[in-house]
Amino acid sequence: MHGLYLSRKCEDIVQLSRELLGLHCWFHRNVAFSALIRGADLTGWKTALTKTWIHHALHGVAYDELPTLLAVHAGGWSAQESAVESSADSQTRLLAMHPGWRWGEPYREIADRVVSLMEDGVYSRAEMRRIFAYDYDRQTIERALSPWGGVFCELARLGKVAFRDMTSRDFDLISAEPTQTLDEVLPGLFRRFLMAYGPATLADAAWLFGLWKDDKKKLSALNLDEFSRLENNGSVYYYVDDHADMGDIPELTLLSGFDPLIVSYTERSAVLPPEYKSAVIMKSGICLPTIAVNGQVAGLWNIKKGEPVVEFFKAQPKRVNDAALDWADDIRRKTAGYRDKDFFHV
């Protein structure tokens, strides 16, 4: 919790994104929730971060970090195909079944045309659908311009496009192509990962970075002797021992949807009790905003129809209920200036 800024504060949202290697934003309100929970304000947040695909999901990231973060999966279209083919992870296999994850002709042709259209000032996926309707069948267009990403996901992974801002559904051309290889960036990124997420296993790092097959083995080949380690239940956990005062686990913590405390580890039972998993992570893969009591998920919170909502799975002391509602209401006030259509949708 210390490394993830849940027991201390980070006042700057860009610094927070740098240290956490991106802020998960399949729903972009979760970036705002995550920032406010961790002590940052939202001044200029829509353009301070760039919304794009890194690792294996949408994140809000510092723009100048993109070449390094995208280098994890540098190498063209085939890298994504092989990752999908070899993944044993249920969420990735689910995505693999979704049209648009398997590329070939005419999808690469469409990707080239997307770039050309953007160079001519067309940035809307909806407008591109209308243009392509004259040349391609509906199924091809649905796959290529899927709301899950389609060719935009691949172009983003190549450092060529990103969303216009954190709340926009339109895209902009960017120039953030990776200039390094995975082998070159992995040692530094792994150390940064442990600074924020440690103690963590190599499997945790592979999961967060979206590594599969032979790339996972590259973690084991790193100089792991420079890190401290501990063993628990047969697994080895690595961390950076900087002798910082970790402080205490807070009695109460709000967590954003897709909060890194929950979704960034392969073993989640220490934070998310198994009996609550189905209430927190939907069958669709969506992870809801939660409330942690003494470091363990104990309920849900949200802002619905402009009002804070708090629901604990088991009865809690009145002070905990009141504090959770007050915290949720504070987030409601700080996000009240955003229109629902701009703020509460992907």
pLDDT digits (tens, 9 = 90+) for 153-195: 989 999 999 999 999 999 999 999 999 999 999 999 999 999 9
Residue 207 token pair: 């999961």
Which of these, 27, 29, 28, 32, lies nearest to 16 by C-alpha position?
32
Domain's final residue, options 173, 207, 241:
173
Q: What is the pLDDT of residue 337?
A: 67
> Is 200 part of a structural domain of the chain?
no
Which of these, 341, 335, 249, lies nearest to 289 by C-alpha position?
335
- Owning domain of residue 103: 75-173
Q: What is the pLDDT of residue 75?
A: 65
Q: What is the pLDDT of residue 103?
A: 56
> Is 287 part of a structural domain of the chain?
yes
- Average pLDDT estimate for 288-300: 97
Q: What letter does residue 59 receive in the DSSP assignment?
A: E
Q: For a pLDDT cut of 90, what percent of the chain falls above it?
A: 77
Q: Rounded to the nearest 5 degrees, what angle is found at the Cα of 27, between the Cα atoms of 55 and 165?
A: 80
Domain's final residue, options 134, 150, 173:
173
> Is 48 part of a structural domain of the chain?
no
> Phi and psi of 15, rounded to 5°?
-60, -40
> Is 93 part of a structural domain of the chain?
yes
> Is 37 part of a structural domain of the chain?
no
> Is 122 part of a structural domain of the chain?
yes
Asked if residue 88 has pLDDT above 80, the reply is no
Number of other residues whose CB lies within 10 A of the CB of residue 121: 6
> Is 227 part of a structural domain of the chain?
no
> Is 19 part of a structural domain of the chain?
no
Give the predicted TM-score (pTM) of the model: 0.88
Count structural domains, the chain. Answer: 2
Q: Rounded to the nearest 5 degrees, what angle is found at the Cα of 49, between the Cα atoms of 48 and 50?
A: 130
Domain's final residue, options 173, 197, 222:
173
Number of other residues whose CB lies within 10 A of the CB of residue 236: 13
